[in-house]
Structure 1
Amino acid sequence: MKNIAIIPARRGSKRLPNKNNLLFGGIPLIAHSILLAQKNKDIIDEVYVSTNDEAIKKIALEYGVKVIDRPEHLSGEFEPTLTALQHALEVIGDSTVDSVILLQPTNPLRPENLLREAFERYRISDSDSLFTVTRNHQKLGKITSNCFEPYNYTIGQRSQDLEPLYFENGLLYISKSKLIREGEIISENSIPYVVNHIFAGIDIDTQDDFDYAEYLLKKASRLRST
């Protein structure tokens, strides 16, 4: 049975135009996810980029991965990632594909060995999928009728005493292909994998996101060289 990586990268980002093509650390943003998949060849049998963009397609082919030509009706701003994965599996048409590793190009920074360690956790479990989460340490609330209503704390409570809450950080998803074909990436039988790392807060949608991610990348590079 095979494990494949799918990297969905459509054309048409509005807040940061052509973000998947932008040079990040000297290479296209999408290339960071491609290289991560290629670095883990003992886990991932094949790497695919799903796109409707000729520039992204060219980058993917230059890096030696396969391309799924995503139709325009599955490439809109509000189209969920799920349909891109379902389309890719349909095009690939390989019944031996057991698991899909979803790598989003907007999460180019991932902790060392994350994929390997998360996949091992997934492999020994009986879950349908695994997804990464990070603990939130903020005091959250809602504003109703111009009044603030605390959600996860009481006024005066210390932040270190908050009940643990977690957010889906987008760094990594691993799902059974069967689950995706049935219409889900995360199910009731999925397991969260906790990643408490500064990279977990990076999801590039704006220029500010991009600039902060570049700062962290340069800082990490300096630390590795010392």
Structure 2
Amino acid sequence: MRTIAFIFARGGSKGVPGKNIKPLAGKPLIAHSIDVARACPGIETVIVSTDDEAIADVARRHGAEVPFLRPAELATDSAPEWLAWRHAIAWVQQDRGPFDVFLSLPATSPFRSVADVRACLDMLASDPQADVVITVREAERSPWFNMVKLDAAGYASLVIEPQGEVVRRQDVPEVFDMTTVAYAARPGFVLRADRLMAGKVRSVLVPAERALDIDTPRDFALAEMIAKLQASAHPS
């Protein structure tokens, strides 16, 4: 099966300027995703989709391909990344022929492991009915128990009202947070569907310490702390 890894990294990050190439633990953030993809058995190549020449240069220096620049209209704040996925798949199919597995490894998730990625690929391969595999972590809050919404007057109520009295977290269905560790999908599904959850979705559970998604300066500061702790625990 042909498996191609993609990393989608646009240049206009406002939360953390220059985020995708900002140094973390001695190398640009995007390099962490590239390195994991290159270390994962069965991946044919790693392609970075970006609109930014600086990101493209860093990606190439760390072993990824950047065979095209993403069109500007697919790199705005409001452009759904789903459309960038479609663009990348269509480009590869036209230039290099059909492939079997589309794998997205966001640059903002630097602590994933090769095992996490391999688990997603194995899950997709083991279930012919699945369209996509996502990664999840155990949720810290539950919409049945301690997540609330506000009405027009500002009064709070549970997001989902349980049937009967709920006094323990164990009394409600188990819920999970989606992560950005990895997405493994069939290319045809991405091209025909309009959103991730439109198909048959399987999931792989990853621990919270490998599921950090960097979106804000606080997230980046936390990532730096985690990286330092990991380095001290495993000195070279």
User: 1:161 & 1:36 partners in 2: Cα distance?
Assistant: 39
Q: Residues 117-136 of structure 1 correspond to what in structure 2 (within 5 A)?
A: 117-126=119-128, 127-136=130-139
Name structure 2 gaps, 5 residues minimum: none
Q: Residues 97-176 of structure 1 correspond to what in structure 2 (within 5 A)?
A: 97-111=99-113, 113-126=115-128, 127-138=130-141, 139-144=146-151, 145-151=153-159, 157-176=167-186
Is 2:38 the partner of 1:38?
yes
- SS of the equivalent of 1:170 reads strand
User: 1:211 & 1:218 partners in 2: Cα distance?
Assistant: 11
CA shift, 1:113, in A, is 1.3
Aligned pair in 2 of structure 1 residues 17, 208: CA closer, same or farther (>3 Å)?
same
CA shift, 1:169, in A, is 1.1
Aligned pair in 2 of structure 1 residues 158, 152: CA closer, same or farther (>3 Å)?
farther
Name structure 1 gaps, 5 residues minimum: none
Look up the equivalent residue of 2:115 and give its one-letter code: N
Report the TM-score when normalising by structure 2: 0.87
- SS of the equivalent of 2:183 reads strand
Match of 1:216 among 204, 211, 226: 226
Report if the CA contact (8 A) 2:120-2:203 is conserved: no
Count of residue pairs the alignment pairs up: 224
CA shift, 1:55, in A, is 0.5
- SS of the equivalent of 1:77 reads coil
CA shift, 1:176, in A, is 0.5
Report the TM-score when normalising by structure 1: 0.91
Aligned pair in 2 of structure 1 residues 150, 113: CA closer, same or farther (>3 Å)?
same
Report if the CA contact (8 A) 1:102-1:174 is conserved: yes
Of stretches 165-174 and 145-154 in structure 1, the one that deviates more from structure 2 is 145-154
Q: Deviation per CA, 1:78-101: give whole Å up to 9, x if none.
A: 111111111112222233311110
CA shift, 1:72, in A, is 0.5
Runs ≥4 in structure 1, deviation > 4 angstroms?
152-156
Q: Deviation per CA, 1:90-143: give whole Å up to 9, x if none.
A: 222233311110011111111451111222122111111100112213221112
Report if the CA contact (8 A) 1:111-1:197 is conserved: no
Of stretches 106-115 and 67-76 in structure 1, the one that deviates more from structure 2 is 106-115
Look up the equivalent residue of 1:64 and give its one-letter code: G
* Structure-2 residue corresponding to 1:56: 55
Percent of counterpart pairs with the same letter?
Answer: 29
CA shift, 1:211, in A, is 0.4
Report if the CA contact (8 A) 2:5-2:47 is conserved: yes
User: 2:184 & 2:197 partners in 1: Cα distance?
Assistant: 9
* Structure-2 residue corresponding to 1:81: 81
